[in-house]
Structure 1
Amino acid sequence: MENLHPADRIIVALDGMVPEQALRFANQVEGLRWVKVGLELFVQAGPEVVGQLRAQGLRVFLDLKFHDIPATMAGACRRAAALGAELITVHACAGSEALKAAEAAAVDGAQRAGQPTPTLLAVTVLTSWEEQRLQRELAITQAIAERVPALAQLSATAGIGGCVCSPLEAAALRAQHPEPFALVTPGIRPTGAAVGDQARVMGPAEAIAAGASQLVIGRPITKAADPSAAFALCCKEL
């Protein structure tokens, strides 16, 4: 990953857009290579949106966070890979059997459809959780700082190719999992950008230095007066 072009490291999140808007926006940003399709856009636009973005020459991070029994996760990942999504999220807490099934099915689905082999990314603990609430509501006594690396290890052992993590977790996870294990980090705010609703944020260059392989950036680019200029500035920061 060391020699990646800065544009390959930045994934722009098409959150809060209707399908036509998302496709138009993705087409307009100069030099854009990766986009993230989340639940809201996927539910509104349907699976076709992945193919439409691919037809525009873009690579797709499909962030649907699959969490189900092994057979269902396998089926979903097989379909997602066949669409051409190259990054696909799954919940680590589905367990090793489901993670192994999902990984095998994703590889198979991509091969059969003639698509690139995807990387599955495990979600450890959603950033919305606070420790006290995790203990109170789910009876999980493990501290988040212990739970995240434990679930990352579970995922890596099951053959999953990477994790989604907060930028503040990147350094510790990278020490535990060297490249090519992918660490994709949201919560990135370029110089001068508003923090928004993310509590734990970091600048792009800082996050890469901490061990992140790719960064998910949304509003600082999508809500900018000139998204192409904002994207170019993020690339420059790297």
Structure 2
Amino acid sequence: MTPRERLIVGLDVPTVREAETIVETLGDDILFYKIGYQLAFAGGLEFARELAESGKKIFLDMKLLDIDNTVASGVENIAKMGMSMLTLHAYPKAMRAAVKAAEGSGLCLLGVTVLTSMDEQDLVDAGYEYDPHTLVLKRAEQARIAGMGGIVCSAEEASAVRKVIGPDMALVTPGIRPAGADKGDQKRVMTPADALKAGSSHLVVARPIVKAEDPKAAARAILAEMATAL
């Protein structure tokens, strides 16, 4: 894959109008966009459908988790929307239900292991007995067994996760920050080049592009850095 196929720009903005402006500004430089809760609940689901119909690839970051039938029904409808990727929390039963529902659709299902905003103390506070690294690897293995299309994890875990899931599954890493960029609320981050070298297949970048003074220049700089690492 080319850098353009690997870079996913997070449309983490509050309105569809702002998202439209970003897409218009970035033009043909960017193929892949992520839409999460913030935009989804402000008209972003229909916008996602429109982007897909225009030829863009869409990563719908919904982090689904519910009873099996509900997960399956949601996945079936999301596949009909023409989405390229969809996240759900990497719980074995939910993943198995989602995989069955997505059969034949081309939708790449991604298991969310541990949020990149969470560190070991956060997991302790949430009642988990595992540290982030151990829990990420455990869930990665469960995702592989369930037949998922890929994994979402921190780039810090990418190398170890790649050994667990093998060469074919997608490995999507948020928390990507160019050298010198503000980490924001992310706790486990890595530069684009280092993330690719560690085994990531796709990089999610939001603020360093969408909040830049010149988003197009910022995106092109990241694409260029990715090209040097490939």
Which range, TM-score by smaller chain? over 0.9
| Equivalent residue number for residue 169 of structure 1 | 157
User: How much has 1:118 moved relative to structure 2?
Assistant: 1.1
- Which of the residues 49, 57, 60 maps onto 2:58? 60
Q: Which amino acid aligns with 1:208?
A: L
Instruction: Kindly report which structure 2 residues correspond to 1:1-238, keeping only aligned pairs within 5 A, or say none.
Output: 4-30=1-27, 31-93=29-91, 95=92, 97-108=93-104, 110=105, 117-138=106-127, 140-238=128-226
Whole-angstrom distance in 2 between the partners of 1:225 and 1:137:
37
**Counterpart contact for 1:187–1:198, Cα < 8 Å:** yes
User: How much has 1:106 moved relative to structure 2?
Assistant: 1.9
Q: Which amino acid aligns with 1:163?
A: I
Whole-angstrom distance in 2 between the partners of 1:48 and 1:224:
26
Q: Which amino acid aligns with 1:71?
A: N
Whole-angstrom distance in 1 between the partners of 2:119 and 2:74:
29
TM-score with structure 2 setting the length: 0.92
Q: Which moved more, 1:58-67 or 1:40-49?
A: 40-49
Whole-angstrom distance in 1 between the partners of 2:119 and 2:195:
22
User: How much has 1:205 moved relative to structure 2?
Assistant: 0.8
**Counterpart contact for 1:87–1:119, Cα < 8 Å:** yes
User: How much has 1:214 moved relative to structure 2?
Assistant: 0.3
Gapped regions of structure 1 (runs ≥ 5): 111-116
**Counterpart contact for 2:95–2:146, Cα < 8 Å:** yes
Q: Percentage identity across aligned positions?
A: 40
SS at the partner of 2:155? Answer: coil
Q: Which amino acid aligns with 2:214?
A: D
The list of structure 1 runs, each at least 4 consecutive aligned residues, that deviate by more than 4 angstroms after superposition, is none
For these two proteins, the number of residue pairs brought into alignment is 225
User: How much has 1:148 moved relative to structure 2?
Assistant: 1.0
TM-score with structure 1 setting the length: 0.89
Whole-angstrom distance in 1 between the partners of 2:102 and 2:54:
23
Gapped regions of structure 2 (runs ≥ 5): none
